[in-house]
Amino acid sequence: PGKLVYMDKLAVGEEAAGSVDIDAPVAHNLAQVAKAKGKQVSDVTAIVLDRPRNQPYIDEIRAAGARITLIGDGDIQGSITAASAGTSADILVGIGGSPEAVTSACAMLALRGEIQCKLWPRDDSERAYARDNGLDLDQVLTTRDLVDSEDTFFAATGVTTGTFLRGVHFGGAHTTTHSVVMRSRSGTVRFIEADHRVEWVKDE
């Protein structure tokens, strides 16, 4: 929304959806995720975007005894990893971009996960902007607030290897890509590994 390009975020998968609260302490949400997934807090892994602004979250996660995975870029992949079955993470917390929150919400609908967000002003000028434009900094934005549709799609292709997709692999005359396509209406998640002939692509 305008100048407010950051949001405080919390994302979980289907098992823990409905049991977490972005306004609650991190330790509470870690305990809720552990309970929902039938594990100890010490076995819960949280994904956090590695930025100075997220240091308080990092400290709280470590104090609670949970595991942590720091990512250098792209909390969309972090949200999806936390919400997907069979991955190494259980929850995403921390401050990241507002556009990424909307994109993540499209994936959450397909995964039946949950994302909660709050606008996060960086300074007094952004707080004043929010006030002047009637934006409530205390409002919790849910998945449905971010995306109001019954039929959303999400698609992504890995460029570099991350927590959810493998990066592009160059092998002489062939290039391999790893992609995912999701649809909320059916809950379908498709992974696509594609082999591209470099010379043929150049000729197009």
- Over residues 169-178, the pLDDT tens digits come to 998 888 999 9
Write down all domains in the chain, each with its CATH number in brackets: 6-149 (3.40.190.90), 154-203 (no CATH)
Q: Model confidence over 54-112: pLDDT tens digits?
A: 999 999 999 999 999 999 988 999 999 999 988 989 999 999 999 999 999 999 999 99
Q: What percent of the chain has pLDDT over 70?
A: 97
Instruction: Tell me: pLDDT of 160 over 80.
Output: yes
**pLDDT tier at 197, thresholds 50, 70, 90:** confident
Residue 203 has pLDDT above 90, yes or no: no
pTM as predicted: 0.90
What DSSP assignment string belongs to the chain?
A: -TT--EEEEEEE-TTTTTS--TTS-HHHHHHHHHHHHTS-GGG-EEEEE--GGGHHHHHHHHHHT-EEEEESS-HHHHHHHHHSTTSS--EEEEEEEHHHHHHHHHHHHHHT-EEEEEE--SSHHHHHHHHHTT--TTPPB-HHHH---SS-EEEEE-SS--SSS---EEETTEEEEEEEEEETTTTEEEEEEEEEEHHHHHH-
Average pLDDT, the chain: 94
